[in-house]
Amino acid sequence: MPLADEVAAFHEGEPNPAALVGEFRRAPVILPVANDSFLSVELDGIRWLYEQ
């Protein structure tokens, strides 16, 4: 199932965590860059990357 469908299933309360992670790993992800660094933020001790 494509990533968008896995995300939709998650929001509908029918998640398949292994499939969701697998599809995310296979999907191209575009990350914004500023000053040769990825844009990120830390929240509750976890570093998050912004995506475009």
Measured between alpha carbons, how far is 34 from 38 in angstroms, rounded to an integer?
A: 6
| b/e code 8-18 from CB counts within 10 Å (16+ = b) | eeeeeeeeeee
Other Cβ atoms less than 10 A from the Cβ of 6: the count is: 21
Is the model's pTM score more than 0.75? no
Other Cβ atoms less than 10 A from the Cβ of 20: the count is: 17
- In the prediction, which pLDDT does 31 show? 85
- In the prediction, which pLDDT does 52 show? 66
- In the prediction, which pLDDT does 5 show? 95
Angle at 15 between CA 21 and CA 31, to 5 degrees: 35
pLDDT in tens, the chain (52 residues): 899 999 999 999 999 999 999 999 999 988 889 999 999 999 999 999 887 6
- In the prediction, which pLDDT does 11 show? 96
